[in-house]
Structure 1
Amino acid sequence: MARSNDEVAALLQEYADLISITGGDAFKARVYEKAARSVGGHHADVATLDLKGLQEIPNVGKSIAQKVREYLDSGSVAAVEELRAKIPDGVRRLTAIPTLGPKKAMVVYEELGVSSVDELAAAIRDERLRDLKGFGPRTEENILHGIELLRSSGGRVRIDAAMELAEDIVGALSAVTGCERCAYAGSLRRMRETIGDIDILAAAQDSAPLMKAFTGLPYVTEVIGQGGTKTSVRTAKGLNVDLRVVPPDAWGAALQYFTGSKAHNIRTREIAVHQKLKLSEYGLFDAGSGEKIVSGTEEEVYARLGLPWIPPPLREDRGEIEAGLRDELPELVTEADLRGDLHTHTDLTDGLAPLEEMAEAAAARGYAYYAITDHAPDLAMQRMTDERMLAQRERVHELDGTYPTKGRRGGLRLLHGTELNIGPEGEVDWPDDFLAGFDLCVASVHSHFRQSREQLTRRLVRACENPYVNVIGHPTTRLIGRRPGIDADLDAVFAACARTGTALEINAHPDRLDLRDEDILRARRHGVRFAVNSDAHAVPHLANMRYGIGTAQRGWLTADDVINTWPERRLRSFLRKGR
């Protein structure tokens, strides 16, 4: 299974929320919030650390370390349980709404008796919240947005949570005697940003040992249904997982069948019917005689239908069938194509690791270049100054080329950059003469999300027109399941990016994946270039690039579309924006 860090981080964040709900010390709540971030981003599995090792994690003091050990040793923390007991279940249900903070949840519960999401939506429709202190029409609108986000998630989870569980299951089942093949399929293999149920496919002559091993996994809490070819379980994380076992000679047909979206599979079956064939999870058959034609590999199945093998992220019926018939499928960008990462943070601002650790980890990933882009001064909470940024630049220059990179000649080239804040009028931190000293500038919206469509559009376009802005970071600002994207005319922004030579970021963090695949498809038609970046705030975050690449693939991008696959000389030429 995944490291314990995420589980412990969630507990610490919950404790911070409980402190806020119960009117506890705000400073103490912030301390636990910081500790949650630090634990979640720590490179080592906290379950392997003693008290001393835990206290070496930034923002984790003795008291917090003791609570972490208490949880790891016993499965609960007395202090957390004590606060949980003080909070009505209704308030805790309300805090699931992304835009409703714990204090406001307590107010609507105590003042209006509201204890469910449906009751809250009804109270807003009746305008009952407006009489409460701190509430008003804008607050109601924000809460309704949050309710929509909560309902639209439909119990789906982020791709990283599903991927960790799926890979653990595949690893466990692959070790079972008699298992010839095992892989995850479905929407996870297509790299969708959120996942409902996980589909696992295995090939074996005898399914019984696999089914027994599957239902006996330590994180399985309930067996929903069990049979010779399919078993469904519920896991401790709340995710349902289906295991299907097929004969080895049906592997390819089954993998094709259980990977494609419903719309993609309808199209492939239609092609089969036109050729007097029948396609199922067991193979491609002659419709008349029932004779099996092919089934062993996906490539064979697609080839017999007159198609090239279609990469899983494209199997959404968004033109991939037509492109395949014309032999015009793109050669999709891969993680191996990446030469660097152009948006990362250190502990100079809100990152968790020093510059040296982040650079060393980047070199270990085999990158040729790596950009440090800490926040600029307009985000006041980051305490950035000209002097601190210039001191970092000097250190970056000292370290440039000193980290050997795996599989590449020469040392890791370090680029000194910054993440600028795009202000309400499209302005950015620092004047041009200071910006000219950076190797690159990422510019992002971090506030004033509720401006009008015209204001937000002009704001982003103006940032693109700045000669020192190279990349628009997390362009729509969305947080999956927590905050919708801003309402801007994205086509106008895409046109501005293409016109000015400004790249759009595909932010690889699993709670952003911003741009979305649908937006990438549109932007690509404008001729925009892209940067797939980790936005890493800790060493483990660098590995999130796989999710950004998956999103880029769903947007049909090739390596040439992505600027951080380019050689350094070509990249630096692009970053000059014609200056």
Structure 2
Amino acid sequence: MPRLNDQVRELLQEYADLINITGGDAFRARAYEKAARAVGGHPEDLAGLDVKGLQQIPGVGRSTAEKIAGYLATGTIPALEALRAEVPSGVREMTAVPGVGPKRALALYRDLGIASVDELAAAARAERLADLPGFGERSGERILHGIELMRQSGGRTLLDAATELAEQLVAALSAVPGCTRCAYAGSLRRMRETVGDIDVLATAADSAPLMAALTELPYVAEVIGSGGTKTSVRTTQGVQVDLRVLPEEDWGAALVYFTGSKAHNIRLRTMAVRAGLKLSEYGLFEVDGGAKVVSETEEEVYAALGLPWIPPPLREDRGEIEAALEGGLPDLVQESDLRGDLHTHTDLTDGLATLEEMVDTAAARGYSYFAVTDHAPDLVMQRMTDEKMLAQREQLRQLADRHKKLRLLHGTELNIGPDGGVDWPPEFLAGFDVCVASVHSHFALDRAAQTRRLIRACENPYVHVIGHLTTRRIGRRGPIDVDLDAVFEAAARTGTAIEINSSPQRLDLRDEDVLRARRHGVRFAIDSDAHATGQLGYPRYGIGTAQRGWLTAEDVVNTWTWQKLKHFLRKDAVPR
């Protein structure tokens, strides 16, 4: 079940979208968007806060606080309901299509009477969009691609939301008397970026109490089916959960089977057949006579097939079986290996927390070093100036006196322009400890232009990390069209790290691209891109992507000691 904060965040964001769609004041809409982010990123639960308490959240003004308090008391926001009545629900759904947004949704509704995603797709196919102001000849093609992207992600849950739900389920079921083991499996255990449903396994002599406990959870909206070994439910957020209860002696085989992937399991079953065995969720059996060989632990199942245990993120039939047979499985990077974070934001630009709050939270995480990288001036909406950046640098130096064990790095997230140039001249860039450079605009440039701009950014001697390289937002915006191999070659040649952006909405690079970049000899940075203190925990998701990309700690620059990282930040040659 989502946190109350997340529910309120979604409502405030919807209100902001509807203000935009109805042609309301853009400044007012931005204020509610900021409040939505602030509430979503607030570490404490909103329940029990009054108007005055809500106003203590940075970014939440009195009007917003009154709306939230009203929702907490009544379960509704009248102003939101009034705007909902003005706009067909399908029009707001159109804003979720990559490339549309509130202003275009309003134009489509006002000028063409388009009031749903299906109607939008039909208009795009009929080439009715090109003559609308703000659209163009290729708008229909891009919008159809955006609709396809949105529908591909439909019904799937982002990794952070799925993890939070699964951990709640496991905690609740583990507390049921008689439960001896409980864990989640499936694609979530393999750390895929989105999850279709959640598989939970448990062991008990009597399954009935566990099945009953699942169906009685407050965030279960529907029981799809229930039996002695399996119960399926749907949560209030529409996520299907499948609980299977089995004997403890079959735990290992079931965990292998229900973790998957399908392709990995087929390889295992093929190996079993060749050895005169049969592998199922109940165990590994002899074909002749049917005697059970092993089933209790995953390690025993893999060992009986002549393999070491294979970490779940690798189980995709992408060479892990061959590597295991040859003793070549990587020693995967772990979250505990991270010594710092090289990409974070404060309320100086679009963050929600102060510099002091972000630094204190980083120190509490036990980091050795921490970089603050607020946006540079070419992202005009952030209103950055030289003076603001230099004042932050001085403030960071003062905070360093309080945090003797945490090396504070002053950095910036630069904007990679369409020609590959970045904000600020070299003499100003030289004053930063670390520079992340990212694409924030001109997403529609052709492949050659995108490739040139990113290669030029890699070649900039002051750029240390390329942030969220493909710019994608899962289910919201597809990746830019770029020759990744050419960019990876440039990054390896220039000693520029490629970021694995750990925001669950991005997870950029994708795991497949991490594998490609690794073959080029690229170094990586696993960063949070945190805009609030709670988001400093995002690297757990970036670590999952890194593991799926076969990375070791040595591949990731922010696992290195400060002495070694210091050479990297000078763009000295760092041996592999």
Provide structure 2 residue ranges, at least 5 long, that are not aligned to the other structure. Answer: none
Provide structure 1 residue ranges, at least 5 long, that are not aligned to the other structure. Answer: 404-409
How far residue 399 of structure 1 moved from its aligned partner, in angstroms, is 1.9
2:511 is the alignment partner of 1:529: no
Decide whether aligned partners of structure 1 residues 178 and 298 sit closer, same or farther in structure 2, where only a CA change above 3 A counts: same
**Alpha-carbon distance between aligned partners in 2 of 1:89 and 1:527, rounded to the nearest angstrom:** 48
**Alpha-carbon distance between aligned partners in 2 of 1:425 and 1:62, rounded to the nearest angstrom:** 44
TM-score by length of 2: 0.97
**Alpha-carbon distance between aligned partners in 2 of 1:217 and 1:252, rounded to the nearest angstrom:** 27
Spell out, residue by residue over 1:73-130, the C-alpha distance to the aligned partner (whole angstroms, 9 max, x if none): 2222122112212222332343332322234324333443433323322211211123
How far residue 38 of structure 1 moved from its aligned partner, in angstroms, is 1.0
Spell out, residue by residue over 1:431-464, the C-alpha distance to the aligned partner (whole angstroms, 9 max, x if none): 1111111111111111111111111111001111
1:542 to 505, 527, 536: 536
How far residue 376 of structure 1 moved from its aligned partner, in angstroms, is 1.2
Partner residue, 1:578: 572
**Alpha-carbon distance between aligned partners in 2 of 1:448 and 1:278, rounded to the nearest angstrom:** 55
Report the AA paired with residue 188 of structure 1: L
TM-score by length of 1: 0.97
- Which deviates more from structure 2 when the two are superposed, residues 427-436 or residues 360-369? 427-436
Partner residue, 1:406: none
Report the AA paired with residue 511 of structure 2: D
2:419 is the alignment partner of 1:450: no
Instruction: Please tell me whether the aligned partners of residues 341 and 534 of structure 1 are also in contact (alpha carbons under 8 angstroms).
Output: yes
**Alpha-carbon distance between aligned partners in 1 of 2:90 and 2:435, rounded to the nearest angstrom:** 45
2:420 is the alignment partner of 1:426: yes
Partner residue, 2:238: 238
Report the AA paired with residue 199 of structure 2: D
Instruction: Please tell me whether the aligned partners of residues 402 and 412 of structure 1 are also in contact (alpha carbons under 8 angstroms).
Output: no
SS in 2 for 1:35: helix
How far residue 398 of structure 1 moved from its aligned partner, in angstroms, is 2.0
Report the AA paired with residue 461 of structure 1: I
Partner residue, 1:379: 379
Instruction: Please tell me whether the aligned partners of residues 18 and 92 of structure 2 are also in contact (alpha carbons under 8 angstroms).
Output: no
SS in 1 for 2:258: helix
**Alpha-carbon distance between aligned partners in 2 of 1:514 and 1:319, rounded to the nearest angstrom:** 22
Instruction: Please tell me whether the aligned partners of residues 90 and 117 of structure 2 are also in contact (alpha carbons under 8 angstroms).
Output: no
SS in 2 for 1:120: helix
Over the residues paired in the alignment, what is the CA RMSD in angstroms?
Answer: 1.4
Instruction: Please tell me whether the aligned partners of residues 130 and 138 of structure 2 are also in contact (alpha carbons under 8 angstroms).
Output: no
| Equivalent residue runs for 1:107-122 within 5 Å | 107-122=107-122
Report the AA paired with residue 140 of structure 2: E
How far residue 342 of structure 1 moved from its aligned partner, in angstroms, is 0.4
**Alpha-carbon distance between aligned partners in 2 of 1:386 and 1:130, rounded to the nearest angstrom:** 41
Equivalent pairs: percent with the same residue?
A: 71
2:35 is the alignment partner of 1:3: no
How far residue 48 of structure 1 moved from its aligned partner, in angstroms, is 4.1
How far residue 547 of structure 1 moved from its aligned partner, in angstroms, is 0.2
2:473 is the alignment partner of 1:473: no
- Which deviates more from structure 2 when the two are superposed, residues 557-566 or residues 280-289? 280-289
**Alpha-carbon distance between aligned partners in 2 of 1:429 and 1:110, rounded to the nearest angstrom:** 39
Detail structure 1 runs of 4+ shifted over 6 Å in the superposition.
none
Instruction: Please tell me whether the aligned partners of residues 159 and 510 of structure 1 are also in contact (alpha carbons under 8 angstroms).
Output: yes
Partner residue, 2:148: 148
Instruction: Please tell me whether the aligned partners of residues 90 and 109 of structure 1 are also in contact (alpha carbons under 8 angstroms).
Output: no
| Equivalent residue runs for 1:162-181 within 5 Å | 162-181=162-181
**Alpha-carbon distance between aligned partners in 1 of 2:279 and 2:187, rounded to the nearest angstrom:** 20
Partner residue, 2:548: 554
**Alpha-carbon distance between aligned partners in 2 of 1:186 and 1:154, rounded to the nearest angstrom:** 18
| Equivalent residue runs for 1:453-532 within 5 Å | 453-532=447-526
How far residue 2 of structure 1 moved from its aligned partner, in angstroms, is 4.3
Report the AA paired with residue 555 of structure 2: D
Instruction: Please tell me whether the aligned partners of residues 444 and 480 of structure 2 are also in contact (alpha carbons under 8 angstroms).
Output: yes
Report the AA paired with residue 364 of structure 1: A
Spell out, residue by residue over 1:162-183, the C-alpha distance to the aligned partner (whole angstroms, 9 max, x if none): 1111111111101000111111
**Alpha-carbon distance between aligned partners in 1 of 2:477 and 2:361, rounded to the nearest angstrom:** 31
Report the AA paired with residue 229 of structure 2: T
SS in 2 for 1:130: coil
Instruction: Please tell me whether the aligned partners of residues 401 and 414 of structure 1 are also in contact (alpha carbons under 8 angstroms).
Output: no
Instruction: Please tell me whether the aligned partners of residues 272 and 305 of structure 1 are also in contact (alpha carbons under 8 angstroms).
Output: yes
Partner residue, 1:407: none
Report the AA paired with residue 481 of structure 2: D
Decide whether aligned partners of structure 1 residues 125 and 309 sit closer, same or farther in structure 2, where only a CA change above 3 A counts: same
Instruction: Please tell me whether the aligned partners of residues 344 and 371 of structure 1 are also in contact (alpha carbons under 8 angstroms).
Output: yes
Aligned length: 573
Partner residue, 2:139: 139
Partner residue, 1:185: 185
Partner residue, 2:34: 34
How far residue 330 of structure 1 moved from its aligned partner, in angstroms, is 0.2
| Equivalent residue runs for 1:182-261 within 5 Å | 182-261=182-261
Instruction: Please tell me whether the aligned partners of residues 401 and 411 of structure 1 are also in contact (alpha carbons under 8 angstroms).
Output: no
**Alpha-carbon distance between aligned partners in 2 of 1:559 and 1:116, rounded to the nearest angstrom:** 47
**Alpha-carbon distance between aligned partners in 1 of 2:103 and 2:454, rounded to the nearest angstrom:** 33
